Amino acid sequence: MPGPIPMTLGSFAFEAIGFGYDTVSRRVQTPWAEIAVAQTLNQHQWTGPTSEEVSIRGVLFPAEFGGQDSLDGIIASAMSGAPLMLVSGNDAEGVIHGTFTIQSVDEDRSFHDARGQPHRNSYSIALKRYGQGGATDAAATLPPILSLFG
């Protein structure tokens, strides 16, 4: 039994044991334009958010706990260019973070056995929020999800 699922990226579930993660970091950029004004300090005008980036880092032990198939599936999704929904939480309360594109996947495989199979694979997945025009991701994707229940 893999244990609780604290986060999913598309159909790929991060588990407590197996395909788990150590850290999640987030970066949101909301720049301000600087406007020159004569004989006083320059003024600032907020131009709105420009990007949101999420990094997920973890370590797999494929021989003992598995998880490599899920990471390979995420790499295949990245290669196909498919945006994926990022959701965290548990059965009682989940948070839809929106739709993200996979920008990169880095792997560092080590402790290879005699067959060349790694026993440790640290990875990093870089995501970037997928913009959908003027609507927010959650507002654009929630009605189709809700229609499944009605």
Q: Hunting for tokens 């959701």 — which residue is that?
A: 87
Written as tens digits, the pLDDT of the chain (150 aa) is 456 778 889 888 888 778 888 899 999 998 999 999 999 999 999 988 888 999 999 888 877 787 888 889 999 999 999 999 999 886 677 888 899 999 999 988 778 788 878 888 889 999 999 987 544 445 555 555 555 555
CA 84 – CA 98 distance, rounded (Å): 8
Q: Hunting for tokens 């990022």 — which residue is that?
A: 86
Structural domains of the chain, count = 1
Tell me if 97 is assigned to some domain: yes
* E strand or H helix at 69: helix 68-80
pLDDT one-digit tens code per residue, 92-111? 778 888 999 999 999 887 78
Tell me if 1 is assigned to some domain: no
Q: What is the CATH number of the domain that holds 73?
A: 2.40.30
Tell me if 92 is assigned to some domain: yes
Tell me if 19 is assigned to some domain: yes
Question: Which residues 6+ apart lie within 8 Å of 42 measured at CB?
Answer: 34, 35, 36
Residue % of the chain over a pLDDT of 90: 37
Tell me if 18 is assigned to some domain: yes
Tell me if 2 is assigned to some domain: no
Q: Can you give the pLDDT at residue 137?
A: 47
85 to each of 30, 41, 60, how far by Cα in Å?
A: 22, 43, 22
Q: Which domain holds residue 132?
A: 7-147
Q: Can you give the pLDDT at residue 135?
A: 46
- Of the candidates 77, 91, 70, 65, which has an alpha carbon nearest to the alpha carbon of residue 5? 91
On average, the pLDDT of the chain sits at 82
Tell me if 100 is assigned to some domain: yes
Q: Can you give the pLDDT at residue 20?
A: 83
Tell me if 34 is assigned to some domain: yes
